[in-house]
Amino acid sequence: MTNRDNKIIALASDHAGYPLKEALIKYLNSRGIDTIDCGTSSTESCDYPDFAVSGCCKVLDGEADLTILCCGTGIGMSMAANKLRGIRAACCSDVFSAKYTRLHNNANVLCLGARVVGEGLAAELVDAFIDTGFEGGKHQRRVDMITALEK
C-alpha cells in the first residue's frame, strides 16, 4: 500500500468485462475514490492476460493500492494475475470471500466475472474488498509462505 490518505484503485478488463469495469469506475469515483483505468476501452475482442498485467503493474509499481480486474468469469484474469510475482488475486462472487481474501490473505487484486455478478453485487464485492484491511498475525506467516512459493 502506498502512503496516502485516500486509496487509488486500478481497474482493467477485457472486452467481456468492459461494461462492468466502466460501471465500477463510476461507482468508485462517486465514493470519492480515485481510479486508474488500465483498459480495455471497448467491447472489441482482446486478450485478457495483457490487461491483467497492465492492472497488476499499477499495484506492483506502487501507483495504486489495489486492483480490480473484470472479464467474463473473472477466472482467466485471476489465473493471469497470479502468475505475477507479488500479486495475490482472488476471483470472488460473494461478499464473505471478498472480505476475507483481504482480511486473511492480504489479496491485492479482486477479479470479477461480468457474466457472473451484476453491477449491484459487484459494487458490494468491491466495497468489502477495498474497505477491509489485512488482519496480520498468524495470517502473515501464511502470506509469507505463499510469497516463498514465488521464488
Q: Look at residue 144 in the predicted model and tell me its pLDDT.
A: 97
Residue 50 pLDDT grade (very low, low, confident, very high; cuts 50, 70, 90): very high
- 2-35 residue pLDDT tens: 445 689 999 999 999 999 999 999 999 999 999 9
Q: Exposed/middle/buried for 46, CB within 10 Å: 0-12, 13-18, 19+?
A: middle
- 69-93 residue pLDDT tens: 999 999 999 999 999 999 999 999 9
Active-site residue among 71, 91, 92, 111?
71
Q: Look at residue 5 in the predicted model and tell me its pLDDT.
A: 64
| CATH class, range 8-149 | alpha beta
70 is catalytic: no
Query: 49: helix, coil or strand?
Result: helix
- How far apart are the C-alpha atoms of 24 and 125, rounded to whole Å? 11
Tell me whether strands 8-13 and 66-71 are parallel, antiparallel or unpaired: parallel
Query: 57 φ, ψ to 5°?
Result: -60, -25
Place of cell 460501471: 23
Report domain extents, the chain.
8-149
Average pLDDT over residues 137-150: 96
71 is catalytic: yes
Average pLDDT over residues 95-105: 98
Active-site residue among 46, 57, 104, 139?
104
